[in-house]
């Protein structure tokens, strides 16, 4: 490492440590104005991006290094300008004797120059961290704001705005870069990045994988079920399907391979399970906390996790069913010899560690730390603490509980590394949220957010199903190039009002968008989570992505189900709490619907299924999930739901008889008949 690279690395490390500490203190004990908070948050994140990011081949030239230093300096300068021109402490330096907010609409030429440079810095940082899709989209919106008066009618023309007005709206004031998107990342999402980093440092997250291995050690397809359970729990904490696949997958994919799963199937299971993690309460990858700021009329945290609980349960039941039937198809039983050997070694090491520490108890202290952290988080929220205060107290719980055992206790070096990791991991979220702020600023300035529904509704001809399909496609396309949280923020701003005008329960509408933002991670041809899984499994990306898509297919059906049958979210069509009978009916229909769907997808029930049987089961799944309305059998239950369930039972009994006949057993099971 050269002297210059060492200096860059040290500056980036300092910024990465300061960022979590600043966020934790300022969120709980605010001293600065909201815009100043976000400006410092962005300045630290952008500095880490330019000085601590990995360079591509050919970008190690002195000129590139100098450019990075210039960009980092510009990021500090433009964000620092916002702080200086906002905070009363610097009142003597305010231009025209007034703060930046007070001179809205009368910004100076220097303000405009600072804002224009700031926009370019944000766009470049976003390009470096997550690629060109979001910066290109933000650039298109900036052009839309500038060229509005010359656009054709189908592009929603407007009167157009000058460059100074656009820059002021998107960077200098509080409705753009330093607006709601960055506010959500700062107030909610980042705390969970830190929460996950601390849990990982204590070894508590490793407990999830080891606990799942013990639970499914002798189960059919046990290795894949370990992947499903552990990835779902880990994904709820991280909120990133790609990051979860890249970490948990390094353990679970080789385990599945050693037990007999083909490479592409092992990768597909991991990608599908990781992509659904952010759908799992109580954390939901901080998705619940973003909804707190966006859903109108406002909802509480407990209302969000209550609504998300049953769909998440159904999603993972469907994956377990697919995994179980796939394992039977490939004759995979248990974890495999290699996995068993590895577990025996791990257990022996655990026993030795406990004896060395003077403890005869087999309690897994890492598990106690993990459960205390999640249990504490939920408890603090039930006690009425604000979300950020509850997360902060949960962080304190992690530090306290981990200090009681040497295996989990964090040294000063370990704590430093956890904070450093959280700071570095936040960079894509900071830059992407800042870039989304540009889009939101243009939406607010031009009024396209209120005019877009007027365009989409006629296209859908007021047909809810057509509107849902259009929104699904939009969410998936945007999600292919964006982090899921950022995709949700963007789509909720642009498309959320459409569903409200179609009479959908607001929370159901936002969960619909959120689900498809997550499902984009396993949707070919991009499927970023499948890409990460295929690189670990050493399999074809295309085969892995299609495998992940097939395994996660229930995740594409569930949003339609809970929009059309809101009782699955424990909600009535008017948004109030649904009756218990309606909730039970909706849950039963969803669970009974995903079972034939799993059999149709895998081509396996008790025996191998032919194409006609699989088509019948696809139809059975569709008619089981399709809700009824008023005038049917009550609580949203229709005659076709009952008929579909009866058809599934008939197919299952027929296939069981066929399997027993092939084995020489009685039609309904029992002992093998004695030979004559």
* DSSP string over 222-287: HHHHHHHHHHHHHHHHH--HHHHHHHHHHHHHHHHHHHT--HHHHHHHHHHHHHTGGGSTTTGGGH
Specify the range with the lowest mean pLDDT, choosing from 5-19, 353-367, 520-534, 538-552: 353-367
Pull the structure tokens for residue 527. 């499927």
Confidence tier at 462 by pLDDT (50, 70, 90): low
The residues near 534 (Cβ < 8 Å, ≥ 6 apart) are 264, 267, 540, 541, 543, 544, 545
Confidence band of 631 (pLDDT split at 50, 70, 90)? very low
| pLDDT band at residue 296 under the 50/70/90 scheme | confident
Q: Is residue 470 included in any domain, yes or no?
A: no
* The predicted structure's pLDDT at residue 457: 64
Same domain, 138 and 152: yes
For residues 419 and 414, give the distance between their C-alpha atoms in angstroms, rounded to a whole number.
9
Of 41-50, 325-334, 453-462, 590-599, give the lowest mean pLDDT range.
Answer: 453-462
- Assigned domain for 68 exists: yes
Q: Which of 112, 146, 180 is the last residue of a domain?
A: 180
Burial class (CB in 10 A: 0-12, 13-18, 19+), 159: exposed
The percentage of residues in the chain with a pLDDT greater than 90, rounded to a whole number, is 34
Over range 243-269, report the average pLDDT: 86
Nearest in space to 544 (alpha carbons), one of 242, 266, 258: 266
Mean model confidence pLDDT for the chain: 83
Chain segment 231-248, per-residue pLDDT in tens:
888 777 766 787 778 778
247, 283: one domain: yes
Q: Kindly indicate the confidence band of residue 55, based on its pLDDT and cuts at 50, 70 and 90.
A: low
pLDDT at 363 over 70: no
Separation CA 187–CA 196 (nearest Å): 16
- Are residues 138 and 220 located together in one domain of the fold? no
Q: Please give the average per-residue pLDDT across 407-429, as a whole number.
A: 88
Distance of CA 619 to the CA centre of its chain: 30
- How many CB atoms within 10 Å of residue 554? 27
Measuring CA to CA, which residue among 222, 315, 259 is closest to residue 557?
Answer: 315
Residues 164 and 278 in one domain: no
Q: Are residues 89 and 151 in the same domain?
A: yes
- pLDDT at position 650, please? 92
- One domain for residues 129 and 201: no
* Cβ within 8 Å of residue 122, ≥6 positions away: 42, 46, 171, 177, 431, 434, 435, 438
Looking at the structure, do residues 128 and 215 belong to the same domain, yes or no?
Answer: no
Average pLDDT of span 387-404: 89
* pLDDT of 634 higher than 80: no
Of the listed ranges 23-27, 96-100, 365-369, 653-657, the one predicted with least confidence: 365-369
Question: Do 32 and 76 share a domain, yes or no?
Answer: yes
Dihedral angle, C-alpha 345, 346, 349, 350, nearest 10 °: -150
Closest CA relative to residue 601, chosen from 641, 568, 561, 557: 557
pLDDT for res 239 = 67
Look at residue 351 in the predicted model and tell me its pLDDT. 40
Which of 145, 180, 215 is the last residue in one of the domains? 180
Specify the higher pLDDT residue, 348 or 486: 486
Domain with 605 in it: 579-665
3-state secondary structure of 577: strand
The 3-state secondary structure of 6-17 reads HHHHHHHHHHHH
In a domain? residue 66: yes
Banded pLDDT at 460 (limits 50, 70, 90):
low
Segment 302-333, tens digit of pLDDT? 889 899 999 999 999 999 999 999 998 888 77
Q: Tell the residue number behind the tokens 């899984």, with chain if given.
A: 533
What is the pLDDT averaged over residues 12-25? 93
pLDDT at 574: 86
- 246 and 320 in a single domain? The answer is yes
Are 166 and 282 part of one and the same domain? no
Flag whether 64 is in a domain: yes
Is residue 198 within 8 Å of residue 399, measured between CB atoms? Answer: yes
Least confident of 7-21, 37-51, 413-427, 660-674: 660-674
DSSP H/E element including 590: helix 580-602
Same domain, 54 and 164: yes
Buried/exposed 95-128: b ≥16 CB within 10 Å, e otherwise: beeebbeebeeebeeebbebbbbbbebbbbbbbb
pLDDT of 119: 97
Looking at 156, 180, 204, the residue that finishes a domain is 180
Distance CA 281, CA 378 (A): 10
pLDDT at 356 over 60: no
Q: Which of 192-196, 282-286, 347-351, 620-624 has the lowest mean pLDDT?
A: 347-351
The answer to whether 373 touches 199, Cβ cutoff 8 Å, is: yes
Instruction: Give residue 230's pLDDT.
Output: 85
Mean per-residue pLDDT for 591-612? Answer: 90
CB 576, CB 517: distance < 8 Å: no
DSSP 8-state code for residue 634: B
Same domain (yes/no): 197, 126: no
For residue 675, the model assigns a pLDDT of: 45
Q: What is the reported pLDDT for 353?
A: 47
Indicate whether 280 belongs to any domain. yes
DSSP character at residue 572: -
pLDDT at 57: 41
- 98-126 per-position pLDDT tens digit: 999 999 888 999 999 999 999 999 999 99
Neighbours of 676 (CB within 10 A): 3
State the pTM of this model. Answer: 0.77
The answer to the question of residue 634 being in a domain is: yes
Per-residue pLDDT, 366: 80
Mention every residue, 6+ apart, whose C-beta is less than 8 A from residue 425: 193, 197, 243
**What is the Cβ-side half-sphere exposure of residue 205, based on CA atoms within 13 angstroms?**
19
Rg (CA), the chain: 27
* pLDDT for 450: 65
> How many domains is the chain built from?
3
pLDDT digits (tens, 9 = 90+) for 498-553: 777 777 888 998 999 888 888 888 888 767 788 888 888 888 888 999 999 999 99
In the predicted model, is pLDDT for residue 555 greater than 80? yes
């Amino acid at each position: 490492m050269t002297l210059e690279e060492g200096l860059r690395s040290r500056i980036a490390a300092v910024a990465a440590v300061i960022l979590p500490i600043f966020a934790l203190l300022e969120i709980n004990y605010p001293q600065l104005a909201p815009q100043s908070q976000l400006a410092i948050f962005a300045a630290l994140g952008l500095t880490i991006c330019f000085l601590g990011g990995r360079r591509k081949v050919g970008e190690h030239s002195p000129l590139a290094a100098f450019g990075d230093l210039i960009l980092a300096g510009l990021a500090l300068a433009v964000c620092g300008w916002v702080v200086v021109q906002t905070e009363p402490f610097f009142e003597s330096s305010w231009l025209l004797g007034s703060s930046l907010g007070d001179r809205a609409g009368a910004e100076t030429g220097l303000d405009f120059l600072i804002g224009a440079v700031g926009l370019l810095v944000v766009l470049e940082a976003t390009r470096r961290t997550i690629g060109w899709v979001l910066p290109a989209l933000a650039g298109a919106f900036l052009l839309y704001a500038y060229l509005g008066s010359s656009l054709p009618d189908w592009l929603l023309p407007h009167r157009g705005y000058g460059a100074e007005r656009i820059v002021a709206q998107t960077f200098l004031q509080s409705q753009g870069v330093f607006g709601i998107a960055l506010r959500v990342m700062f107030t909610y999402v980042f705390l969970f990045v830190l929460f996950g980093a601390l849990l990982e440092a204590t070894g508590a997250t490793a407990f999830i994988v080891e606990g799942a291995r013990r639970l499914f050690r002798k189960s059919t397809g046990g290795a894949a079920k370990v992947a499903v359970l552990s990835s779902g729990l880990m994904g709820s904490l991280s909120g990133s399907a790609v990051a979860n696949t890249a970490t948990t997958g390094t353990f679970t994919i080789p385990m599945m391979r050693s037990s007999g799963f083909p490479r592409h199937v092992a990768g597909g299971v991991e990608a599908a399970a990781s992509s659904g993690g952010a759908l799992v309460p109580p954390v939901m990858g901080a998705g619940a906390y973003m909804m707190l700021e966006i859903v109108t009329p406002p909802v509480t945290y407990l209302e969000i996790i209550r609504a998300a609980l049953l769909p998440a349960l159904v999603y993972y039941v469907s994956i377990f069913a697919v995994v179980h039937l796939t394992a039977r198809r490939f004759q995979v039983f248990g974890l495999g010899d290699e996995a068993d050997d590895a577990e025996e070694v791990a257990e022996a090491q655990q026993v030795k560690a406990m004896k060395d520490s003077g403890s005869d108890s087999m309690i897994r202290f890492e598990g106690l730390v993990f459960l205390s952290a999640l249990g504490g988080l939920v408890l603090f929220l039930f006690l009425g603490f604000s979300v950020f205060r509850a997360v902060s107290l949960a962080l304190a719980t992690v530090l306290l509980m981990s200090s009681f055992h040497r295996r989990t206790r964090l040294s000063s070096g370990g704590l430093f590394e956890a904070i450093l990791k959280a700071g570095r991991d936040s960079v894509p979220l900071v830059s992407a949220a800042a870039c989304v702020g540009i889009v939101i600023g243009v939406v607010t300035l031009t009024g396209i957010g209120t005019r877009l529904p007027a365009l989409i509704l006629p296209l859908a001809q007021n047909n809810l199903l057509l509107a849902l399909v259009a929104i699904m496609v939009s969410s998936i396309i945007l999600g292919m190039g964006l982090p899921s949280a950022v995709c949700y923020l963007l789509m909720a701003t642009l498309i959320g009002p459409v569903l409200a005008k179609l009479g959908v329960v607001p929370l159901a509408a936002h969960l619909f968008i959120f689900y498809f933002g997550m499902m984009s991670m396993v949707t070919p041809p991009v499927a970023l989570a499948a890409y990460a899984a295929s690189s670990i499994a050493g399999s074809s990306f295309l085969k892995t992505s299609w495998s992940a898509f097939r395994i996660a297919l229930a995740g594409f059906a569930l949003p339609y189900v809970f929009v059309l049958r809101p009782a699955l979210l424990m909600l009535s069509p008017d948004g109030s709490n649904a009756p218990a009978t309606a909730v039970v009916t909706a849950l039963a229909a969803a669970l009974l619907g995903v079972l034939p769907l799993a059999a149709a997808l895998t081509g396996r029930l008790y025996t191998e299924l032919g194409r006609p049987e699989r088509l019948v089961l696809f139809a059975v799944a569709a008619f089981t999930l399709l809700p009824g309305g008023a005038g049917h059998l009550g609580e949203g239950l229709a005659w076709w739901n009952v008929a579909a369930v009866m058809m599934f039972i008939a197919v299952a009994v027929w296939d069981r008889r066929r399997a027993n006949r092939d084995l020489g057993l009685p039609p309904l099971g029992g002992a093998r008949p004695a030979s004559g």
